[in-house]
Structure 1
Amino acid sequence: MEKKEKNFSLKQSQTLQDKNDKNTDLSSNISILFEKHFAISNVQQDTQMYVLPEVGSMFTEPPWWLNKLQKIKRDLNEVKGRLNNFNLSKWQQHTNRMNEAGEIIPMVRENIQAELVTQAWCKFYEIASNFSLVPLNEIYQEVDGKNFKSVHLCEAPGAFVTALNHWLKTNASDVQWNWLATTLNPYCEGNSYDSMVADDRFIRHTLKHWCFGADNTGDIMNLKNLDTLMKKSESLDGKGRILLVTADGSIDCMNMPGEQETAVAQLHFCETVACLHLLQKGGNFLLKLFTLFEHQSVCLMYLLSCAFQQVSVTKPASSKGGNSEMYVVCMNFKGKDYIAPYLCTLKYYYDNVPPVNAMFNLRDIPDGFLRRIEQCCKFFKFHQCKIIEDNIRTFHKRDNFYKHLSTSFVKRMISIKYLEDYRLKKIDPVDKIVGREIIEKNNNQFMNKKLYIDSYNERCKSQDLEPQERLLQVWNNTKEIEWPSEKFYVWNLQALPEALEIQTGKLFNKICSSRFCDSKIVQILDKIDDVMQDMHITVCFPPAEITTEFISQIDPSYEILSFQFVQNYDSHRIIAEIYDRLKKLESEKTLVLIGYSLLTQLNIGLLYLLGNSFNKIIVEIHDNEGYRLKLENYRRNEKVLKYLDEILIASHNACKQNMAVWSIIPITILYEYTKFPMMMLLNHLMIKLYTRHVINIMLDKKL
């Protein structure tokens, strides 16, 4: 009996020890998740201070590379290359479930109820808490009180701003703060969804804080836009200096995953140069990078290590572990006096033209610095590869694994640790910038929906398909688009605005995005355009023969104004034709608009005005051409004619500057237009019919 009890006791002890070991391993793994930091330079600790070379030596040496870094790159790309056959949609679902930090965002939303809580929000809050990102020591030394300003580059949808506000309210409530942000303008219909974050739920309520530059596109890689941003930052309301700049920019690299770093190199260069022009002495800079294998990134890191007292690289726990994203935290800027001799040279290579040569000669960069970069690359490559390999290993076992994972408390432990370590707590609703409820009630159909669902290899193969096959693939994406339930709609009139708000911007002739169409459906137009460009053909829509037949049969008392729904978009011509026709139109006449696009703010705004010069607008649905807009019984409205005069003058002035009229009524008003949902439905219909028409012509078959 004693022997049995002794054996049982030993088994109990071993089981307890196993549990303790597992708990220790688990605790260790969780700690590692929150400790992905790597110090590149620290003036207080380093025996050697990094110094910039002479200005004249910059951009003089051809591109160079380091074999050790290229070896790490090849090893990483070999692991990433194993993903090329995975269906993107299924892979993303799998990695989302596997993400140990995946519960952080929902837990912050549920428990803290902050505004615009996204992955970017959680990453920023984590970095701000791990590092002294907000330079309180500098702020508290301000002679005119505890004030500072921040500037945020490539900021859409605005989560860094809302996270910073939350951090300040819970960690430095006595600080007075003002901010300015820039990003690719989500209201520029010439900006593509592939290039921008179209989510404007926060932007639309804070437009006075956003600067979209001289051409209104928000392109930070345009030097004139940087100049405009600098001027606006100087006139930013409030006291204090610009002591924080953030840059969260990226470029869609889905079709070149192995060369992400090179693809974004010029953007990161521009973000850094912009920061060096904006930031003031003692301030901090947060920059998103990816990998550090190429000369562009190595030189950029050396520039930052010379310009700031301390530079670290971090991968937040709330950032998905399988991607290459990491953040460079640059502390305590040495000031304009230090960097001033280099700014002219840096600006010279700024404006959208990547320099041919490397920024610095390799011999001008200390060996000790290069070793730190190599160690940093190895550190983050190890962690990224481990996550990818774990995800691949569990992909085909996901049903059993998810069942186990759902009962696991790992995700909950990580999210609780996040809340506790960073001392997250609610703030008073009056301290929020816009308000969680206001942001969440806005529609979110523009939150960067992409058409990528296939694997990388399948997408590559599709580019090699014959044009007709590519068009049939596009048609498959349009089949589910709904048709309007009725053939006939009457639109009531909207009250005229008290005044116009005419916005001009960069000239564009191709509509790449629209606030009045689902983003995935607009991208169908882009794919069709690519095919037709490859084949050097154009297609009229509505078809010319249908328009001609309609004109020959129509009531002679009707006036016809015919457009092309697609092809080159010309705001000046649209304004001139609407203006000219309305000036000459006789009372009681009906004006019929054929092929009039409802994709742009300008066109919607013009229709908004025109409605007040007619008794009613009738929308007729036709199977082969989409919709016609019948504006019945013209009645002269002097206010509308006065507005059209203003618009025409603005159009002439914009044309002289090679600009375009973008809008005449604020987007915030158009969002409230009662016909907003109907206009979206009509645009979807037109794109579906246009796609069918192109395929019928190209394949000589009826769909």
Structure 2
Amino acid sequence: MFKEPPWRLDNLQMLKDSLNEMKSRLNNFNLCEWQQHTNQMNKAGDIISAVKKNVQGELVTQAWCKFYEIASNFFLVPLNEIRREENGNNFTSVHLCEAPGAFLTALNHWLKTNAPDVRWNWLATTLNPYCEGNSYNRMVADDRFIRHTLKHWCFGADNTGDIMDLRNLDVLVERCKLLDGGKRILLITADGSVDCTDVPGEQESAVAQLHLCETVACMHLLQKGGNFLLKLFTLFEHQSVCLMYLLSCVFQWVTVTKPASSKPGNSEMYVVCINFKGRDYVAPYLNILRQHCGNVLPTKAMFHPRDIPSNFLRRLGECNEFFKHHQCQVIKDNISMFRAERYNDILFELKHVKRIVANKYLRDYRLSQIDSANEIVGREILEKSNSSFMNKKWRVDSYNERCKKQDLEPREHLSQICNEAREIESPAEKSYTWHLRAPETLEIQTGRSFNKVRSSHFCDSKIHQILNKIDDIVRDTQSTICFPTAEITREQTQQIDPTHEILSFQFVRDYDSHRMIAEFYDRLEKFQTGQTLVLVGYSLLTQLNIGLLHLLSGFFDKINVEICDNEGYRIKLETYRRNDKVLNDLREILTASHNARKDNMTIWSIIPITILYGKICKHIKTRKN
């Protein structure tokens, strides 16, 4: 394995070229307009709303409907294995790249209506939505379900949730051993993907390594007789051909399917792998597969073409031809219908078709409501969760327009970003008071060190994406940017009461949590009773920064926050009183930060995110940080 140079099969490359030629016809379409159009044209487009209305399922999304459809069409849940005497109706599943969690709620609903006697336990992993070093483009930031089920999630050795890091995989394996002795994992799902909006012609290559890592994780965890559900896209390149052959070798039955509830114009498909031959069967190959896991594509192909039976290659070619034909037909039809003269009449006619399809879905899969007590979190709880600040990818222009932006000079690019920023409303209030409580106990959480805050649960994601765009340009041009500038800081501090202590922060190239913790400790250890501390330019983007404000409230009577356009936040902590417990807490945090740095880790938080949501998160969000 992994001895041959990369290779291509001519017949599959011809299919790829044909599909990409059809996709290229979409390059001038505005992305938002095109998505709205294709949603209206989708004959299965009413399935989600029909399930929500008639079944009132928990976290019903497109992923929910796809999973339920696959579970109903295939023997995905291996009930025969689960009900064997040694398993005693106990069933454990592991879910990779699972955010936001719709596969889990769909599986729960399926079990409650099809196998209510099964006792189910589960563990999931995904890119950690609370890792501020994970970017919006890489992860699903929707944590409505995750925040209520955190004990069931494993984010690995470095807390990022990156399954492509072997250390995280090994921690997941160890965690699974604690689930019923690790003996009853009979289903693994892997729904991972990568944002390929800017490279639509190379989607398969962009996700190939992730799919290999998901498969290797499955081989570490799955019990003999268990099943595996893997999302793939096209199967044109040697990585996918080899992966499909590997799966066909280690499972008794492998089927490629595209659920009716999947968007018909994309390349998404699912591989249903039934009856795993067991860890002993794959053991001789695991070490070499592990060596080729990671974030970098292997330089060699997994197999030589002559190692793969010609009959398998023929069948795979037929499979590719089948799905490519249907995808191209859908794209072609959608293009022809875009702004057609009879567009409104077509939409009216489609309403009847959509209703038939949705009713067929409900009927064929025998969907029915379950008791709310049998839900994992609860539909009503999830629906009440504030989702307005979840990840909103800010792409409204066409592919060709985005390509042109990449060629812009930095000054032109910054000008466009400024125009985007002007669309955002400024906060109505310019100052307010927070009454916070210092935490009774600390819960110090560490994770992989990061030097750039790429995501935040305390800021509108659109605003944060503007910040990231600016930072990308600064880094590309090897420039530096400081906000507020030293000049502004000097001017502003001169206007502050000279009896106040001032601690100035700046938005700089590298986020350094350790320096911030050390500065707080050094300053507060020497503070005098009755003094006021003013924080200039203090960021409210990270869990740690918010948590530290909670902690500092144990020293001061109240916290006043003022928004200043030219310096960011000015936070005034009034009337200091010594608090030895809080000072000891701060010393403990500083020591933990020192120790974390030795392992290239850093302090991520000192207060659980679930507590921050209830205390301060809402207050910040309503003012659009």
Bin of the TM-score, shorter chain as denominator length: over 0.9
Match for residue 330 of structure 2 among 380, 384, 387: 387
CA contact (8 A) 1:148 1:239 kept: no
Q: 200, 212, 227: which is aligned to 2:155?
A: 212
Output the CA distance in 1 between the equivalents of 2:180 and 2:279: 22
Structure 1 position 594 matched with structure 2 position 536: yes
The root-mean-square deviation of aligned C-alpha atoms, in Å, is 1.4
Work out which of the residue numbers 55, 65, 72 in structure 2 matches 1:129: 72
**Structure 1 segment 6-405 matched on structure 2, within 5 A:** 58-237=1-180, 241-397=184-340, 400-401=343-344, 404-405=347-348
* Matching residue within 608, 617, 621 for 1:676: 617
Q: By how many angstroms is 1:240 displaced? A: 5.4
TM-superposition CA deviations, 1:638-683 (whole Å, max 9, x none) = 221121122112111111111000000011111111x434423666
Separation in 2, partners of 1:282, 1:423: 26
* AA at the equivalent of 1:319: S
1:343 & 1:570 partners in 2: Cα distance? 39
Q: Does 2:381 match 1:438? A: yes
From the CA coordinates, give the structure whose radius of gyration is larger: 1
Query: What is the deviation of 1:350?
Result: 0.8
Aligned to 1:582: 524
Q: Contact 2:539–2:569 at 8 Å: present in 1 too?
A: no
Partner of 1:47: none
2:551 to 590, 606, 609: 609
Equivalent in the alignment of 2:440: 498
**Structure 1 residues 549 and 408, CA gap change in structure 2 (3 angstroms):** closer
Is 1:645 aligned to 2:601, yes or no? no
1:603 is aligned with what amino acid? N
| Partners of 1:142 and 1:240 within 8 A in 2 | no
Q: Post-superposition shift, 1:401?
A: 3.8
Distance 1:548 1:83, change over 3 A: same
Deviation string 1:251-306 (CA, Å, 9 cap, x unpaired) is 00000000000000000000001001110100000000000000000000000000
Quote the offset at 1:437 in angstroms. 0.3
Mark the CA change 1:399 to 1:214 in structure 2 (over 3 Å): closer, same or farther. farther
Name the CA distance, whole Å, in 1 between partners of 2:347 and 2:211. 41
In structure 1, the residue corresponding to 2:553 is in which secondary structure?
Answer: helix
For the 8 Å contact 2:41–2:350, the answer to whether it is kept is no
Counterpart residue identity of residue 563, structure 1: F
1:572–1:316 Cα change, 3 Å: same
Q: Does 1:512 align with 2:454?
A: yes
Q: Secondary structure at the match of 2:586?
A: helix
Which one of 548, 555, 577 corresponds to residue 497 of structure 2?
555
Deviates more, 1:625-634 or 1:285-294: 625-634
Match of 1:474 in 2: 417
* Further displaced range: 131-140 or 554-563: 554-563
Bigger drift between 80-89 and 635-644 goes to 635-644
Structure-1 separation of matches of 2:529 and 2:617 = 29
1:656-675 equivalent positions in 2, closer than 5 A: 656-673=598-615, 675=616
- With normalisation by structure 1, the TM-score equals 0.87
Structure 1 unaligned blocks of 5 or more: 1-57, 685-703
Whole-Å separation in 1 of the counterparts to 2:176 and 2:154? 9
Query: Shift of the alpha carbon at 1:239?
Result: 8.2
C-alpha distance 489-266 of structure 1, shift in aligned 2 (>3 A): same
Distance 1:179 1:677 in 2: 30
Partner of 2:596: 654
Give deviations 1:21-53, integer Å, cap 9, x for gaps.
Answer: xxxxxxxxxxxxxxxxxxxxxxxxxxxxxxxxx
Deviations 1:61-112 (A, max 9, x none): 1001000000000111111110000000100000010111010001101110
For these two proteins, the number of residue pairs brought into alignment is 625
* Alignment correspondent of 1:536: 478
Q: Distance in 2 between matches of 1:216 and 1:518?
A: 23
Structure 1 residue 529 displacement after superposition: 1.1
- Please list the CA deviations of residues 604-656 of structure 1 after superposition, one character each: whole Å capped at 9, or x if unmatched: 00001112211111112323212200111111122211211221121111111
* TM-fit CA distance, 1:358: 0.3
- 1: CA distance, partners of 2:551 / 2:180: 35
Cα shift at 1:332: 0.2
Q: Are 2:543 and 2:605, in contact at CA under 8 Å, matched by a contact in 1?
A: yes
Secondary structure class of the residue paired with 1:194 = coil
The alpha carbon displacement at 1:367 in A equals 0.3
Q: CA deviation at 1:407?
A: 6.7
Q: Is the 8 A contact 1:202 1:434 kept in 2?
A: yes
CA contact (8 A) 2:176 2:182 kept: no
Indicate how the Cα distance of structure 1 residues 108 and 249 shifts in structure 2: closer, same or farther if over 3 A, else same: same
Q: Is 1:394–1:401's contact at 8 Å kept on the other side of the alignment?
A: no
**Paired residue secondary structure (2:402):** helix
Q: For the residues of structure 1 that align with 2:322 and 2:431, how far apart are their CA atoms?
A: 64
- Distance in 2 between residues matched to 1:602 and 1:447, nearest whole Å: 20
Unmatched runs of 5 consecutive residues or more in structure 2: none
Q: Which amino acid aligns with 2:292?
A: Y
Cα separation, 2, equivalents of 1:285 and 1:227:
19
* Contact kept in structure 1, 2:81 and 2:87, CA below 8 Å: no
Judge conservation of contact 1:198–1:446 (CA < 8 Å) in 2. Answer: no
What is the SS of the residue equivalent to 1:322?
coil
CA separation of 1:537/1:404 partners in 2, compared to 1, >3 Å: closer, same or farther? closer
Secondary structure, counterpart of 2:517 in structure 1: helix
- 182-191 vs 235-244, which moves further: 235-244
Letter matched to residue 596 of structure 1:
Y
Deviates more, 1:401-410 or 1:112-121: 401-410
Q: State whether residues 437 and 553 of structure 2, in contact with CA within 8 Å, keep that contact through their aligned partners in structure 1.
A: no
Post-superposition Cα deviations, 1:281-339, rounded to whole Å, max 9, x if no partner, equal 00000000000000000000000000000000000000000000000000000001111
Q: Where do 4+ consecutive residues of structure 1 move more than 3 Å?
A: 237-240, 401-404, 680-684
Task: Give the C-alpha shift of residue 446 in structure 1.
Answer: 4.3
1:149 Cα offset (Å): 0.5
Contact 1:215 1:225 in 2 (8 A): yes
CA-CA distance at 1:237 after TM superposition: 4.8
In the superposition, the TM-score normalised over structure 2's length comes to 0.98
Aligned sequence identity (%):
69
Provide the rounded CA distance (Å) in 2 between the counterparts of 1:528 and 1:603.
Answer: 22
Q: 1:364 to 1:398 in 2, by over 3 A?
A: farther
For 2:370, the equivalent position in structure 1 comes to: 427
Secondary structure in 1 matching 2:554? helix
Structure 1 residues 238 and 148: alpha-carbon distance in aligned structure 2, compared to 1, 3 A threshold: farther
Deviation at 1:206, TM superposition (A): 0.3
CA distances 1:154-180 after superposition (whole Å, capped 9, x unpaired)? 000000011001100100111111000
Q: Is the 8 A contact 1:488 1:620 kept in 2?
A: yes
* One-letter code aligned to 1:358: A
Change in Cα spacing, 1:390 to 1:446, as seen in structure 2 (3 Å) is same
Q: Is the 8 A contact 2:444 2:607 kept in 1?
A: yes
Paired AA for residue 676 in structure 1: C
1:522 is aligned to 464
C-alpha distance in structure 2 between counterparts of 1:335 and 1:665, whole Å: 42
Contact between 2:501 and 2:531, CA under 8 Å: does it hold in 1?
yes
| 1:618 alignment partner AA | N
